[in-house]
Structure 1
Amino acid sequence: MTSTAEITEKYIENHPSIKDCLKKELLNYTQLSKLIAKELEIRNKTSIEAIQIAARRYIRKIKSEDINEDKIIEILKQSELEIKNKVVTIVIEKLYYPEKLIEIELKIKKNKDLFYSIEGSNAITIVTNEKYFEEIKKLFSKNLLETHKNLILIKLKSPKIIEKVPGIAGFIYSKFAENGVNIIETMSCWTDNLFIIEEDHLSEVMGFLKF
């Protein structure tokens, strides 16, 4: 059976505005407890008191998270952003790793252009420059699943210490979610985190990734 503390924490986690107010100590715990009890249809007085206790414990917990958040922000302040425009993604069916894909990869890299391939269970996503879009579409016309054009690739290059601090990826992804920006594709390599977004969101993303 789910405990009152677990129910309370889950409720707060699902309501970011309440969580934010708790962090800033802007909420009355009694009123918050009554609100949670009402919405979750908890009538028992003892349970309402337990909600209040759980909420107070939760504020201590998220304040300790803020200490880690300070570390995350400090690392991100030392990070650099690299932007590439005219990026496309092409998703092909994964029947095998096609020889044609290796050939086009070698060609693009020989030209010192952008190329990434992400291999999933049933598909392979190709990330490259727009000028290769039609050529790749033609090569894999029978196995084509999805394409995206007019994209931007954002590379966040961080110091080596990033691998020792937990929560950085979650913190960054939350910034995209909070600002309503969809990530078309994402990947990472050691200290680099890459995000592919629609070009219309570039200025917005540059704003919330400025630390």
Structure 2
Amino acid sequence: MTKRIGGLGTGSVREAVWRVIDRDPSIQHDLSRDLINVRALARYCSKLGIGGTEDAIISSVRRYPAGSRARVQYEAARNVVGQSSLSTKSHIVNIALSKGQDAQDVLPKLFGLVRYEKGETLRIVQGEESIKLLVDERNLPKMLELIPRKIVLNVHKGLAEIDLKLHPKAVETPGIMLVIGSELARNGINMYEIMSCVPEMLIFLDEKDVLDAYRVLFELCHPQNK
């Protein structure tokens, strides 16, 4: 069942159709490459609640400006991502801890278990109520020996990390996350966690998805090879 989007029933047919396109970078991208069936898109717009005849909606789609702000911004971000490089790492585990004094006391001890010179991983994400540790699976037993069991909320194995080394322009370019997230979502790939350490963006996902994700992001980073 197609979800009806609020706010599309007011104004002219053209305005309503353009709002649908503005909200969906995937549609914008496919339109710019002439990869979308305009009549099928018109029917999709009708299902969202846009009034008017199918021909009127088709006409509005065809008049969508090639230089619209949303499309220009998306393509600019895509071009910046296209100048990036990437690498992968498997056998990553997420340890979720409840936030508090016990977690604060144990964290310094965990740093001593990680051999950065050997490429081992320790990523930390702090939320309002919990702390996530993303570590190499081989270090999991040693860490769980030090961490009080009462503060361990969850241990999630079978993750992989994709390290996307972005072009320096990425830090001042809107839409970088949108481009990456949209391309992965279009291919049915879920991101378990995402964090950044400029100019790097770290994406964590299930190991079963890492090959497909690498292919999608490689094509995004090397558009000339497609």
Alignment TM class, shorter chain as reference: 0.7 to 0.9
Distance, in Å, in 1 between the alignment partners of 2:41 and 2:19 is 14
Pair 1:169-2:174 in alignment:
no
- Report the CA distance shift for 1:9/1:154 in structure 2 as closer, same or farther (over 3 A): same
User: Unpaired segments of 5 or more residues in structure 2?
Assistant: 1-5
1:142 partner SS: helix
Q: CA deviation at 1:91?
A: 0.7
- Report the CA distance shift for 1:134/1:13 in structure 2 as closer, same or farther (over 3 A): farther
Pair 1:128-2:123 in alignment:
no
Aligned to 1:101: 107
- Report the CA distance shift for 1:19/1:73 in structure 2 as closer, same or farther (over 3 A): closer
Distance, in Å, in 2 between the alignment partners of 1:98 and 1:38 is 52
| TM-score under structure 1 length normalisation | 0.77
Q: CA deviation at 1:175?
A: 1.4
Please show how residues 1-211 of structure 1 align to structure 2 within 5 Å.
Answer: 2=7, 3-4=10-11, 7-9=16-18, 11-12=20-21, 22-23=31-32, 24=34, 27-28=37-38, 36-37=45-46, 40=49, 42=51, 49=56, 55-56=61-62, 59-60=64-65, 65-96=70-101, 97-109=103-115, 112=118, 113-138=120-145, 139-210=147-218, 211=222
Q: Are 1:92 and 1:144, in contact at CA under 8 Å, matched by a contact in 2? A: yes
- Report the CA distance shift for 1:55/1:89 in structure 2 as closer, same or farther (over 3 A): same
Greater displacement, 77-86 / 9-18: 9-18
- Report the CA distance shift for 1:79/1:12 in structure 2 as closer, same or farther (over 3 A): closer
| TM-score under structure 2 length normalisation | 0.73
Aligned residues: 206
Distance, in Å, in 1 between the alignment partners of 2:168 and 2:16 is 38
- Report the CA distance shift for 1:104/1:67 in structure 2 as closer, same or farther (over 3 A): same
Q: CA deviation at 1:155?
A: 0.5
- Report the CA distance shift for 1:52/1:78 in structure 2 as closer, same or farther (over 3 A): closer
Distance, in Å, in 1 between the alignment partners of 2:77 and 2:48 is 34
Q: CA RMSD in A?
A: 3.5
Q: 1:136-156 deviations in whole A, cap 9, x for unaligned? A: 334131112222112211101
Q: CA deviation at 1:106?
A: 3.5
Distance, in Å, in 2 between the alignment partners of 1:111 and 1:126 is 19
Distance, in Å, in 1 between the alignment partners of 2:106 and 2:87 is 29
Q: 1:80-128 deviations in whole A, cap 9, x for unaligned? A: 2122222111111112452111211233256652111100011100011
Q: Are 1:92 and 1:140, in contact at CA under 8 Å, matched by a contact in 2? A: no
Distance, in Å, in 2 between the alignment partners of 1:99 and 1:187 is 24
Q: Are 2:25 and 2:182, in contact at CA under 8 Å, matched by a contact in 1? A: no
